[in-house]
Structure formats: structure tokens, C-alpha cells
């Protein structure tokens, strides 16, 4: 067996020394470098995970804030619409009241005007009756003074009418 190992150029004591040295080096590296490197990698992994969790939390907060903002905007819009509706309703009520008051005032003025017209008409009719009575009395007085034929009667009426018109003008 020693022949094959010799033929390949492998020196067994050197190989064993190198294997033992390699194993010792692996053990030393494990304690000196592997554990600190692994600890450092674990810590970095942990920091990355925390950063990802924080980013996710910020993303959720942002979504929540956006949702809350949309809700507040919707509520403000609804409130604005309600205020506009109330203002329009109040305006309509004021308009209706003004129309009712104007209608009542117009009816009052119309009633007053009708009453004044009725009074003036009654006064005018009374005045015409008095004038007619005066004319009748004058005409009767003239008739009594003399008996008239048709032509004299017409002249007498014209004369009385002229006298009454002249008296009114004065």
C-alpha cells in the first residue's frame, strides 16, 4: 500500500500533519472568526428585519392616515352640503314669508282702495242727487212762475243748466 501512496507523491506523515493542522485551524477559526461573523450576520439580519417591520408599520400608518383623511374629507363635504341645504331652505322660507307679507299688504291696499272708491262713488252719487234736487226745485220754481210750452220748457232747462254750471265754476 505504501507503494501507491509513494507513486502518487503523497508523503503520509506530511499529509497527517497537514490534516491535523487543518482541523486545528478549523477549530480556531470556528471560535475566533466563525462565531463573531455569524453573530454579526445575525445582528445584521435582525436589523434588516426590524427595518422591514418599521417600514411595514410606517406603510400601515400611512394607509390609516390616508383613510382617515378621506373619511374627514367626506365628512367635511357632507357637512358643507348640509349647510348649503339649510341656507337654501332658510332663503326659501324668507322668500316665502316676504311673498306672503307682500300679498297681505297688496290685499290691504286693494281693500283700502276699494273702500275709498266706494266712498267717493257714494259721495259723487249724493252730490248728483243734491244737484238734481236743486235743479228740480229750480225748474219747478220756474214752471210755477209761468206755464210753458214745449219750446219754452227746453229754453228753461237750458237756462237752469247754464246757471248751475256758472254757480259751480264760481
- CA gap 32, 53 in Å, rounded: 32
The whole-chain average pLDDT of the chain stands at 84
Statement: residue 14 has pLDDT above 80: yes
Show the cell assigned to 146.
209761468
Q: Return the pLDDT at 150.
A: 66
Q: Return the pLDDT at 143.
A: 63
Specify the number of domains making up the chain.
1
Q: What average pLDDT does this structure show over 45-65?
A: 94
Higher-confidence position of 105 and 133: 105
Higher-confidence position of 139 and 87: 87
Is the dihedral angle over the CA atoms 83, 85, 86, 92 positive or is it negative?
positive
Range of the domain at 6: 2-169
Which one-letter DSSP state was computed for residue 117? H
Q: What CA–CA distances, in Å, run from 76 to 21, 61, 80?
A: 79, 22, 6
Residue 121 φ then ψ, to 5°: -60, -45
Q: Give the N- to C-terminal CA distance of the chain in Å, as an integer.
A: 176
Q: Return the pLDDT at 126.
A: 79
Amino acid at each position: 500500500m505504501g507503494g501507491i501512496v509513494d507513486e502518487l507523491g503523497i508523503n503520509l506523515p506530511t499529509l497527517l500533519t497537514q490534516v491535523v493542522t487543518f482541523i486545528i485551524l478549523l477549530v480556531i477559526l470556528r471560535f475566533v472568526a466563525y462565531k463573531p461573523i455569524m453573530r454579526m450576520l445575525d445582528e445584521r439580519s435582525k436589523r434588516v428585519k426590524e427595518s422591514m417591520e418599521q417600514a411595514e408599520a410606517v406603510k400601515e400608518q400611512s394607509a390609516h392616515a390616508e383613510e382617515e383623511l378621506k373619511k374627514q374629507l367626506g365628512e367635511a363635504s357632507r357637512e358643507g352640503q348640509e349647510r348649503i341645504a339649510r341656507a337654501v331652505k332658510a332663503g326659501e322660507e324668507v322668500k316665502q314669508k316676504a311673498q306672503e307679507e307682500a300679498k297681505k299688504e297688496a290685499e290691504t291696499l286693494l281693500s283700502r282702495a276699494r273702500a275709498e272708491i266706494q266712498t267717493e262713488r257714494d259721495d259723487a252719487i249724493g252730490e248728483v242727487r243734491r244737484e238734481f234736487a236743486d235743479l228740480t226745485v229750480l225748474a219747478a220754481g220756474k214752471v210755477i212762475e209761468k206755464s210753458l210750452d214745449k219750446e219754452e220748457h227746453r229754453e228753461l232747462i237750458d237756462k237752469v243748466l247754464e246757471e248751475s254750471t256758472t254757480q259751480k265754476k264760481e
